[in-house]
Structure 1
Amino acid sequence: MLGAMSTAAREKTLLLMRHAKAEEGLGKPDHDRELAPRGRRDAKAAGRWLHEQGLVPDLVICSTAQRTRQTWEEVCRGGLHTEFVEYRRSVYLGGSEQTLETIREDAGETSTVLLVGHNPTMAQLTSLLTDGEGSRDAHEALGHGFVTSGLAVLSYAGSWADLDLGTCALTRFHVSRGQGG
């Protein structure tokens, strides 16, 4: 029993990432929009940054949209890898509450989860989960907007099944930008 409690209470990390810059949707269904060249560079830079920071997910939960899938692919090209990736339509279709429920259901016993999704859900979920707690600098950076390739790093102590509003602290907010033209 004590072992189970310490596992549930240990520090966890939730990484909320907005997909990288996508192409304009001219005549294409939203779900099928692909990354723009800048988006590919930015997502690859995000992968490098995550790897350099030691923020390696045990599980990736990714929207089913083409641009989020491609964001994850480019993050991998930047040097970040994980064995477990789940593609969830609920992250594409759902708002904050449905996305939160997906995390609760899918995260299991993992310690670090990366969710690749969309705005305004990523910004809303970050705000609701942290309720102003955490790094002042991170909250100030987030206050400038949850732009494409933005990454919110949240700390959480508890069971993923109990993840709820106001239970996390925002420790960092990073925006990755790649090089090139």
Structure 2
Amino acid sequence: MAPQLWLLRHGEAVPHDAKPDAERELTPRGRRQADAAGAALAALAERFAACYTSPKVRARETAELACAHLNIEPIHEDSLANGFSRVDALTLLDAHADDAHVLVVGHEPSFSQVVYDFTGARVDFKKGGVAALRASRAAGELIVLTRPKELEALSRS
């Protein structure tokens, strides 16, 4: 069975002109999005071998809030900060069992590009949204794409 790569885009953050990019934190709405994403993944009974996060503040906060529901600690991964790629994703997946589910928390436009590079699918990846795919060296299959509103609904179930 192929491993699954779950991508969580950070929640809404303060505006670009408020702080240097790496220091931008989540807004209250972004915190709610991150919390709902974690609660939704827990409601789906997803078990993750690991969660890797971009070191940027908004991604770290998203990972911490989501992982509080998943009983795992996020691991800082520099490759998620800028230009995360299909090769970077495969490197992270290679560190785990063949059937592992791995969660990564990061940014656009990298995440949409990774989905495209694995599956050929063009996706509109919302802040606080989740995509999951079965990943292999040859190809991939998009298995879920959820918006923050859908995750919020799932988190209440």
- TM-score band w.r.t. shorter chain: 0.7 to 0.9
The question of 1:82 aligning with 2:68 is answered: no
Structure 1 counterpart of 2:51, from 51, 54, 60: 60
Distance 1:101 1:11, change over 3 A: closer
Deviation at 1:150, TM superposition (A): 1.1
The question of 1:18 aligning with 2:33 is answered: no
Can you list the C-alpha shifts for 1:40-93, whole angstroms capped at 9, x where unaligned?
A: 00110000111111222111121110000000111134x12225x321222112
1:32/1:65 contact within 8 Å kept: yes
Deviation at 1:131, TM superposition (A): 1.6
Amino acid in the other structure paired with 1:40: R
Structure 2 counterpart of 1:175, from 132, 135, 147: 147
In the alignment, the residues of structure 1 paired with residue 84 and residue 36 of structure 2 have an alpha-carbon distance, to the nearest angstrom, of 27
TM-score by length of structure 2 reads 0.84
Structure 1 counterpart of 2:87, from 101, 106, 128: 101
1:56/1:82 contact within 8 Å kept: no
Structure 1 gaps, min length 5: 1-9, 133-138
In the alignment, the residues of structure 2 paired with residue 121 and residue 151 of structure 1 have an alpha-carbon distance, to the nearest angstrom, of 13
Amino acid in the other structure paired with 2:129: G
Deviation at 1:27, TM superposition (A): 4.2
Structure 2 counterpart of 1:148, from 103, 127, 131: 127
In the alignment, the residues of structure 1 paired with residue 32 and residue 15 of structure 2 have an alpha-carbon distance, to the nearest angstrom, of 17
1:15/1:154 contact within 8 Å kept: yes
Structure 2 gaps, min length 5: none
Deviation at 1:105, TM superposition (A): 2.5
Deviation at 1:19, TM superposition (A): 0.7
Secondary structure at the counterpart of residue 3 of structure 2 = strand
1:28-43 → structure 2 map (5 Å cutoff): 28-43=19-34
Structure 2 counterpart of 1:113, from 97, 102, 122: 102
Distance 1:128 1:106, change over 3 A: closer
User: Paired residue for 1:129?
Assistant: 118
Aligned residues between the structures: 148
Give the alignment's Cα RMSD to 1 decimal. 2.0
TM-score by length of structure 1 reads 0.74
Larger Rg: 1
In the alignment, the residues of structure 1 paired with residue 52 and residue 106 of structure 2 have an alpha-carbon distance, to the nearest angstrom, of 9
Amino acid in the other structure paired with 1:169: E
